[in-house]
């Protein structure tokens, strides 16, 4: 392994801490949390296209919920206990039904730090078993520790990592109040544990962070090759509406997945060529034409780290 490769984990960890938090003075005020109706039974709330900060309570990701005659199924838990409590309050305005399940699309901090609210309500939490390694890792512990400092008071000593009640390792069919949920593993892509949740009766797909709309994706340590294949597989669902992990919902699946897919393809092509030619990363990054993406939100915050991690991935990935 090269010296660059050996620094992979440390570089990723430090970048993760620094990129996704900013001082309060640089952040916009937290927006109102407004549930948007997706279909007859499904709703979602949309996080900001911003970095997590004390000012926005780490409200930077989406969460969904589906109201059935036997209870409410929530999809993702948002980025702080305060946010998940606000989400519960919004759900209560729509239905008195209890929240019976939470399905996690993946275990990234902006989707899970609100989990304890739902755990305390007695909801059954479902996630892919591949998340266990992260949940029990030093990386997760250090990330929470950093978040307690950088996202205070919304993440504090009482904020805890919450394990799933049910770990799955393959497709699962869940039926609640007559509503059928098709839970499908689509990782390793954005994370090893990615899940997509499809409501065939209403043709709604919750795609998690396989789909970012209107902003630069966060690539991190993703398996970008499999992520591209998984995006192609998502198109096989007969979805009329896709709720992404970040950004507004989509009613044009092929068009709206294109940004994420094309960005990943471009990263792999540009950084893969540099890695094969043994070009130093800094030179390769400066020489790459980013004009088609640099206008997007979070480009300056995330693109360099995305390119760096892709460069390291392509160093170790067999040539195709």
Strand order in the sheet with 241-246: 172-176, 179-185, 195-199, 204-212, 241-246
Per-residue model confidence as pLDDT tens digits over 177-232: 999 999 999 999 999 999 999 999 999 999 999 999 888 999 988 999 999 999 98
Q: What are phi and psi of 32, to 5 degrees?
A: -65, 145
Dist. CA 260–CA 276, nearest whole Å: 24
pLDDT surpassing 60 at residue 27: no
CATH architecture, domain 3-316: 4-Layer Sandwich (3.60)
Dist. CA 120–CA 55, nearest whole Å: 26
Domain ranges of the chain: 3-316
- Provide the pairing of β-strand 204-212 with 172-176: unpaired
Dist. CA 75–CA 44, nearest whole Å: 9
User: What pLDDT does residue 220 have?
Assistant: 82
The confidence band for 320, taking pLDDT boundaries of 50, 70 and 90, is: low
Threshold 0.75, pTM exceeds: yes
Dist. CA 210–CA 233, nearest whole Å: 11
Q: For residues 215 and 302, is the Cβ–Cβ distance under 8 A?
A: no
């Amino acid at each position: 392994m090269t010296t660059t490769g050996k620094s992979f984990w440390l570089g990723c960890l430090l970048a993760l801490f620094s990129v996704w938090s900013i001082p309060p003075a640089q952040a916009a005020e937290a927006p109102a949390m407004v549930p948007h109706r997706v279909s007859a039974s499904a709703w979602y709330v949309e996080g900001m296209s911003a970095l997590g900060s004390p000012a926005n309570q780490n409200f930077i990701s989406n969460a969904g919920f589906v109201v059935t005659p036997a209870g409410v199924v929530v999809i993702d838990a948002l980025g702080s206990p305060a946010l998940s409590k606000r989400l519960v309050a919004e759900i209560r305005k729509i239905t008195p039904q209890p929240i019976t399940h939470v399905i996690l699309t993946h275990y990234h901090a902006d989707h899970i730090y609100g989990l304890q609210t739902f755990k305390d309500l007695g909801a059954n939490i479902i996630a892919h078993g591949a998340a266990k390694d992260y949940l029990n890792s030093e990386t997760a512990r250090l990330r929470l520790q950093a978040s307690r400092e950088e996202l205070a008071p919304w993440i504090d000593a009482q904020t805890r990592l919450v394990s799933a009640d049910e770990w799955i390792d393959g497709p699962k069919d869940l039926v609640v109040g007559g509503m059928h949920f098709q839970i499908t593993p689509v990782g390793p892509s954005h994370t090893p544990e990615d899940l997509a949740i499809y409501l065939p009766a209403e043709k709604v797909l919750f795609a998690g962070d396989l789909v970012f709309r209107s902003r630069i994706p966060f690539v991190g340590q993703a398996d970008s090759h499999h992520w591209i294949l998984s995006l192609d597989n998502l198109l096989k669902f007969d979805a009329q509406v896709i709720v992404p992990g970040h950004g507004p919902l989509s009613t044009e699946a092929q068009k709206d997945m294109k940004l994420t897919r094309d960005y990943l393809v471009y990263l792999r092509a540009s950084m893969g060529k540099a890695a094969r030619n043994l070009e130093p990363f800094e030179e390769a990054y400066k020489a790459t034409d980013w004009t088609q993406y640099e206008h997007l939100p979070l480009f300056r915050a995330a693109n360099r780290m995305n390119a760096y991690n892709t460069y390291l991935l392509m160093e170790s990935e067999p040539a195709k």
